[in-house]
Structure 1
Amino acid sequence: MTVIVTTSPGFGKHGSVPGIIAEKGWTLIRCTDPDLHDGGVSRHIREADYLVVGLTPVTTDTLVGASRLKAVLKHGVGTDNIDIPACNARGLPVCNTPAANADAVAELALGLMFSLARFIPQGHGSVISGGWNRRVGSQLGNKVLGIVGLGNIGKRLAVMARGLGMRVVATDPFADMDFAREHAITVVDLPALLGQSDYVSLHVFGGPDTAALINAVTLAQMKPGARLINLARGEVVDLDAVAAALESGQLGGVALDAFVSEPPDVSHPVFSHPNAVFTPHSGADTQEAAENVGLMVLQDIATLEQGHLPDRCLNATALHAGDS
């Protein structure tokens, strides 16, 4: 019997995914207990054939006793919470699901841009509280969108923004220049992007290379009154610096979907600012994206069950090196 342990609240719940798991006779154990530091993984890791990862970190300690484990699979894209060297040491393939939720995240980024431009959450709050506070917003057409990270999500967002008549600039050390030329995207360095963008949307991986990428220095480089959107990782943004920039007016608004601690400590001053909008790490939370991601995970498990490495295996080279 194949046992799948998951720390993802959404894996195995959407579209055709539950039916496929049942049809194959696989057992799914969900470890998302908020009162346990690892959601309960340590209680079930010994019986797991596959670990499907949400936001709970996978460390060396997580893998202790995982005698049956055959692979670690991310229910999503970012693998910064998976200790891949630790998986290499145990000969465990690590897979993710690139592009499966790109449309969902890009659409939310666009929705948050509209929310910032037209004060949609504030208008809603005014009406339901008995008020009628009409704030004059701005249109997105002819504005400059700066995309930090021109990967699958950044590309989707760029095309959507171009469709609205926005001018798009991007920064990415590995930018697809053919795509950029095709869609009239100007690729620049980060300071140049910050200095000309009316909206800056972050779509980078977490980790030490991007920790506090947006800080007091980079916020000062932004066009005065520009708006910031973060659907990447919480640690990419220095919240103290963002709160100060909002208070001074250097930053015209912020929309955050990811936080260092989730749920976050809402006593931080950024959460009481009238030009700040928040969502609960829901960038990928659409029925379509959840099904797509789940199907890709199941496809990779099926491939592994047949004794093969999936094409989406991120550490195939290291695993092959260990076999030699």
Structure 2
Amino acid sequence: MTTRVLAAGDHFVLNRLFIDALRAETPGGLEFSELTLPWPVEPFGRVAEVDEASGTEDRLIEALRGIQVCVTQMAPLTRRVLEAAPDLRLFGVSRGGPVNANLDAATEHGVAVCFAPGRNAGATAEHTLGLILAAVRRIPQTHGELVAGRWRGDYYRYDDVGIELLGGTVGLVGCGAVGRRVARAAAALGSRVLVHDPYLDDLGDLAGIAEPVTLDELLARAQIVSLHARATPETAGMIGAAEIAAMRPGSIIVNCARGTLLDYDAVCDAVESGHLFGAAFDVFPEEPIPAGSRLLTTPNIIVTPHLAGASKQTAANAARIIAEDVGRHLRGEPLRHCANPEVLKARHR
């Protein structure tokens, strides 16, 4: 029996990556159609009731006619789309969480939604380490001065130089897939590593590498604080003015996780006052960063446009993880990364 699959890729997770991964996982019995979404050439945004989506409901509805399985990164799985796609049984979202899918509506329509946790952990950890090094050594600032024709040897003054990771203390707030990789990299460079994660029961492979501590102790001891917590109601604003004031004078803070974790105005205040040596961010409370934001004008703050996970390996990992769950679905096996497992339970009653 042939299963009709829609590959609704974009300009990052390409359709050919989905199709190649699916063919490797399930060599026969698949018939493919394709839809290319405009992200990241066009920013993602809200589509009907779902967020961080690309494309339109109408285009997806047309492409899903007769489709049983859809694999995508950004397509909007809304209630309206589900009502117009009666043949759909599996919707694979190749990202860390299916924010572009209405899970309640999918469950009502008997559509399982799977996702790809950890797809960009390696890339995000490397980008985090790059931002740490850029911030402590002021690499972007000195590069900008040099290309502008200024040889700033005065940056060698004691008060203007940063620290080395060798012998320094790195504090990680959150110790999931990304945080664990950053911990190992920092330790390999000779840093003492502190971790704060209330959901961490066992250090596992970080035993002997990282020390679990309270958030207060981490802020008091670490010279470099890097955020790796998930965005939840509990973590919203977890690092505010009081927490930043509790950090060591001359320390830095880095965020490649989620913009909701941090009070960015408080960071700007602390950098301007000299309490913080600097900061580096890849995520923001509003994206793109609004014109006139203090983040764009405060000295010693480094910003990148939410691309920590942007690597060829991330795109390939995303397609592979989703393809593996598609294979399980077609073989009648339990899905490994299902966001609404109650659908699977209902199917087996």
| Aligned CA distance change for structure 1 residues 45 and 242 (closer, same or farther; 3 Å) | same
**Cα distance in 1 for residues equivalent to 2:236 and 2:80:** 24
State the match for 2:158 in structure 1.
none
- Partners of 1:222 and 1:318 lie apart in 2 by 46
Question: Structure 1 residues 180 and 302 mapped into 2: Cα distance closer, same or farther (>3 Å)?
Answer: closer
Gaps of 5+ in 2: 48-53, 156-160
Note if 1:45 corresponds to 2:60.
yes
Partner amino acid, structure 2, of 1:98: P
| Counterpart in the other structure of 1:264 | 289
Q: Residue 27 of structure 1 corresponds to which residue in structure 2?
A: 33
With the length of structure 2 as denominator, give the TM-score of the two structures.
0.81
Query: Which residue is equivalent to 1:123?
Result: 142
- Once residues 83 and 220 of structure 1 are traced to their aligned partners in structure 2, the CA distance between those partners, rounded to angstroms, is 40
With over 3 angstroms needed to count, the CA separation of the structure-2 counterparts of 1:120 and 1:5, relative to structure 1, is same
Give the equivalent residue in structure 1 for 2:183: 158
Match of 1:233 in 2: 258
Q: Secondary structure at the match of 1:208?
A: coil
Aligned equivalents of 1:57, 1:171: Cα separation in 2: 35
- Tell me the distance in 1 between the aligned counterparts of 2:77 and 2:301: 32
Determine whether 1:75 maps to 2:64.
no
2:8 maps to amino acid: V
**1:144: which partner in 2?**
169
SS of 1:2's partner is strand
Shift of 1:65: 3.2
Deviations, residues 217-266 of structure 1 (Å, cap 9, x unaligned): 22122222221111111222222222222222232211111123332214
**2:12 maps to which of 10, 15, 26:** 10
Matched ranges for 1:1-324 at <5 A: 1-6=4-9, 9-12=11-14, 17=18, 19-20=20-21, 25-32=31-38, 34=42, 37-38=46-47, 39-46=54-61, 47-48=63-64, 49-50=69-70, 52-54=72-74, 60=79, 63=82, 65-79=84-98, 82-134=101-153, 135=155, 136-179=161-204, 182-317=207-342, 319-320=344-345
CA separation of 1:58/1:139 partners in 2, compared to 1, >3 Å: closer, same or farther?
A: farther
Unaligned stretches of 5+ in structure 1? none
Q: Deviation at 1:193?
A: 1.1
* Letter matched to residue 233 of structure 2: P
Q: Which amino acid aligns with 1:4?
A: A
CA-based RMSD of the aligned residues comes to: 2.8
What's the CA shift for 1:31? Answer: 2.5
**Cα offsets for 1:67-119 (capped at 9, x unmatched):** 34323333222445654344333333232223332221111111111101111
Query: Contact 1:213–1:237 at 8 Å: present in 2 too?
Result: yes
Q: Give the direction of change, closer, same or farther, for the CA distance of 1:76–1:163 in structure 2 (3 Å limit).
A: same
CA distance 1:3–1:238, shift in 2 (3 Å) = same
**What is the TM-score with the length of structure 1 in the denominator?**
0.87
Report percent identity of matched pairs: 30
SS in 1 for 2:170: strand
